Structure 1
Amino acid sequence: MDSAKLIERLHSGLPEDAVLTDPDVTVSYAHDMASFCEAGTPAAVVLPRTVEQVQHVMRTATELRVPVVPQGARTGLSGAANASDGCLVLSLTKMDRILEIDPVDRVAVVEPGVINATLSRAVAAQGLYYPPDPSSWEMCSIGGNIGTASGGLCCVKYGVTAEYVLGLTVVLADGSLLNTGRRTAKGVAGYDLTRLFVGSEGSLGIVVRATLALKPEPPQQLALAAEFPTAAAACEAVCRIMADGHAPALLELMDRTSIQAVNAMANMGLPETTEALLLAAFDTPEPARDLAAVARVCTEAGATEVVPAETAAESDLLLQARRLTLTALDRVKGVTMIDDVCVPRSRLGELLEGVAAIAARHDLTIGVCAHAGDGNTHPTVCFDPADEDEAARARISFDEIMGLGLELGGTITGEHGVGLLKKDWLARELGPVSLRLHRGIKEVFDPLGLLNPGKVF
């Protein structure tokens, strides 16, 4: 590839400051937050601000046969945003406008670089609610959320990102523009291409605009914290809560390792003697009544103490502790590998017991936090990368956890995506027939294989 020609062609349709070539700058765009994922050296980083500029980038890439790696805020945990050698990194962070908030149709139209928390606060100001709320919501972008089909703490009641994406505007590999979906509450015309793009990790096209469904703002949440002597008892409480028909806005679990890590980082004062802490919250008209009912369930399941929050501020403090978990675990040894295994709720206890056995077998620290209400767990392997033996054991344990998840009828990723980290495991989960169809779909949208090559499968 002629680098000079590439840069010249890019500059013909982009502002001077939208093309970065200084290696000291472009290296900072080389990877996301995943460990054990290789990252190459990009030929350039482009930061378009308009749909037309994205089209220009893709037309140039197609003409010169240059691979393109789309990026959001790079908070991903699977290596999906990692650069490959000689690629164009297409960063969408400058496309960060909220174009419309419509309280009648209950939709928001946004560009991909809008930060999740920014959108949530903007719609809340109009009495509306955008439910998907990943733990990184203060940093992650809507485009990245769409690319990985992300979830969050409130999925147990409100569902995941895919359920809120009504329509998309997508720049395809050849620079053409595709509109999918609609802004109506109903619509079944044609294949559901919108859902196809959600979770595709930038391998089919570049999302440049999204129409998102909104809900009326719910009442303020109230939460409780229940302490359990074993993770199995906490998981039994989760099963009983759901079987009894309760509808918590969130149902989260932290094990002792996670609790200790959060206390060490933020002095939260969480109970470090408990083996598992279950957090439940309701945003119903009478949350105190619902919390009392769940408190009884937790006590019957073996909780040693149940502490309901009395104010919204106390509830927010509990939820902040949960949001800090992955960051806190990252400080235990300096590096983490964050798994993303999701199993049926009925098998949650088996997964946590299995993870504990894996940690003991490999002499590793593995903290577990979980969106317990939907069975999505984040076993987090803490290790010292300078210790080659420990790093090797960390990788083995990570794979064993994914294998355990599949054995229990689950999936290798509930919300973080596949990227580079889980390519081999995706093939095992999908099987040869499904994998062949996936590759066929990829070829239809990206016949030259330029979009995020080497990712997913």
Structure 2
Amino acid sequence: MPDTDVAALLPRLVAALPDGVVTTDPDVVEPYRWDWSHDVAAGTPLAVVRAQDAEQVQVAVRWAAEHGVPVVPRGAGSGLSGGSSAVDGGIVLSLERMRAIEIDTECRVAVVEPGALNVEVKTAAAEHGLWYPPDPSSYEICSIGGNVATNAGGLCCVKYGVTTDYVLGLDVVLADGRLVTLGGKRVKDVAGLSLLKLFVGSEGTLGVVTRAVLRLVPAQAARSTLVASFATVAGAATAVVAVGRTMRPSMMELMDQASINAVEDYKPMGLDRTAGALLVAQSDAPGVARAQEVEGMRAACEAAGAEVFVTDDPDEGELFVAARRMAFPAIQARGAVLLEDVGVPIPLLPELLARVAAIAAEHDVEIPVVAHAGDGNTHPIIVYTPEAEDRARAAFHAVMAAAIALGGTITGEHGVGRAKAAALPDQLGADVMELNRRVKAALDPRGILNPGALGL
């Protein structure tokens, strides 16, 4: 808990930092209270610190450590699980102004400050014929710091992996204000415990990332796009399982009928409103292997009852990908939402989707589903009206319980945040939760870093 009269000590923090870095203006502070999940339990912080460099981050954390003040690190505020919801009496430590990007073509890495947007890193890499693969649907607005905090994935992760696969180094400000450097530009390094990976996905509970060294790869090859229309979600899920047995597409995305129609209502894209589900898949395999992979996916989809369309035109293919990316804002336009992010082993994808449909019927709420289907990661999105909020929240917890029962996870890429903290022990069990708490206590003994996130 904060020491008494912390507000009276706030002028010391203001004086220790340049003008404009610390703000207490209620109108400025208000948008920093929550992320995109709009957590109704978000608190009101004493101040927002908009740091401009790592040294200013250290100053803020040292002040907070001295007085026991909670610190909620924040990137672009695009999180979907309440991971950067403000805490009453704490400070929000915004990294949005730390935006530097340096591309090292010899080492094939990007050295990036946490406020840089994912799209900015992609653009900078592309100028040198390189590519940063992790691509959340929100890649145009989400920050690298947030991506590291949640170990973000995206549409290409079925083949190219998630954020942790590209993090070679981090600078981290610890809970006592010390700055440590973990890893670096080295491709291989097994010296010491793997502390670098400990911080990826820790959601700001163990330290504040102030710099990341990200591995880059050669620019993605030409892609062919396959769009398969199914009568049912079960048919689409069955095709995904079949494809995964022998093929490795660079994208395998699913939209159910409700999400298709949400997109068409939001911005008409020419999608088939009558389809029970769509799969949008891509192959970037080299040479003739690309055509062979596409034909293999076509055969699997047709065997599951689909009508299939294939294009080699990159612009045409991108229109379908854009429609898939549009699903989140389109569904949010339908009403209040609770955003899920559950995953299961790929062969159990059909069963998970069936259980989600049953939960929607049982609780009488609409649950459109989009999914990074190729790796078993689904996003059931619960849409509700104010009078249905209790049913919606019950459905939210039922979906997580269904995933756990199938040997799955309550979050594949959005993070636990505060929204899912209560369900985490059900997945991890008492012993693993205790290990999490012991690590937290070792690195943050006063518990000031993002308290409540991850249930820590």
Could you say which residue in structure 2 is the equivalent of 1:344? 345
TM-score, normalised with respect to structure 1: 0.97
Pairing of 1:414-425 with structure 2 (within 5 A): 414-425=412-423
Question: Could you say which residue in structure 2 is the equivalent of 1:279?
Answer: 280
**Pairing 1:135-154 to 2, within 5 Å after superposition:** 135-154=137-156
Contact 1:35-1:337 at 8 Å conserved across structures: no
Amino acid at match of 1:9: R
Kept after mapping to 2: 8 A contact 1:251/1:278 = yes
3-state SS of paired residue (2:342): coil
Residue 79 of structure 1: how far off its partner (Å): 0.6
TM-score when normalising by structure 2: 0.97
Q: For residues 47 and 209 of structure 1, do their structure 2 counterparts lie closer, same or farther at Cα, with a shift above 3 Å needed?
A: same
Q: CA deviation at 1:300?
A: 1.4
How much does 1:37 deviate?
4.3
Percentage of pairs with the same residue: 50
From 296, 314, 319, give the equivalent of 2:316.
314
Contact 1:37–1:420 (Cα < 8 Å) also in 2:
no
1:17 alignment counterpart: 20
SS at match of 2:435: helix
Question: Given the alignment of the two structures, is residue 439 of structure 1 paired with residue 437 of structure 2, yes or no?
Answer: yes
1:51-75 Cα shifts (integer Å, max 9, x gaps)? 1111100111111221111001111
User: What is the match of residue 303 of structure 2?
Assistant: 300
- Among 169, 178, 181, the alignment partner of 1:179 is 181
For residues 197-224 of structure 1, the C-alpha deviation after alignment (integer angstroms, 9 at most, x for no partner) is 0010000000000011111112132211
1:163 alignment partner in structure 2: 165
For residue 258 of structure 1, what is the amino acid of its counterpart? S
Tell me, in whole angstroms, the C-alpha distance in 2 between the residues paired with 1:139 and 1:214.
20
Q: Secondary structure at the match of 2:423?
A: helix
Confirm or deny: 8 A CA contact 1:112 1:209 kept in the other structure: yes
Matches within 5 A, 1:316-335: 316-332=318-334, 334-335=335-336
Give yes or no for contact 1:35–1:335 (8 Å, CA) kept in 2. no
SS of 2:299's equivalent in the other structure is helix
Question: For the Cα contact (< 8 Å) 2:35–2:78, is it kept in 1?
Answer: yes
Q: Call closer, same or farther: CA 1:116–1:195 in 2, change over 3 Å.
A: same
Q: Partners in 1 of 2:201 and 2:9 — Cα distance?
A: 30
Instruction: Mark the runs of 5 or more structure 2 residues left unpaired by the alignment.
Output: none
Amino acid at match of 2:318: D
Distance in 2 (CA, whole Å) between partners of 1:382 and 1:14 is: 43
1:255 alignment partner in structure 2: 256
Decide which moves more: 59-68 or 392-401: 59-68
Offset at residue 35 of structure 1 (A): 4.7
- Aligned position for 1:365: 366
Query: What's the offset of the Cα at 1:11?
Result: 2.1
Deviation at 1:108, TM superposition (A): 0.8
> What is the CA–CA distance in structure 2 between the aligned matches of 1:416 and 1:452, rounded to whole Å?
16
**What is the rounded CA distance, in whole Å, between the counterparts of 2:9 and 2:451 in structure 1?**
19
Alpha-carbon distance in structure 1 between the residues aligned to 2:379 and 2:26: 34
- Is the 8 Å Cα contact of residues 171 and 206 (structure 1) preserved in structure 2? yes
Question: What do residues 418-453 of structure 1 show as CA deviations (whole Å, max 9, x unaligned)?
Answer: 111111111111111111111110011111111111
Pairwise CA RMSD: 1.1
The 8 Å contact of residues 114 and 141 in structure 1, kept in 2 or not, is answered as yes
Distance in 2 of aligned mates of 1:222 and 1:7 = 57
Give structure 1 regions of 4+ aligned residues with deviation exceeding 6 angstroms: none
Question: Structure 1 residues 36, 62: closer, same or farther in 2, change over 3 A?
Answer: closer
Any conservation in 2 of the 1:37–1:421 contact (CA below 8 Å)? no
User: For residue 122 of structure 1, what is the amino acid of its counterpart?
Assistant: A
* 1:376 alignment counterpart: 377
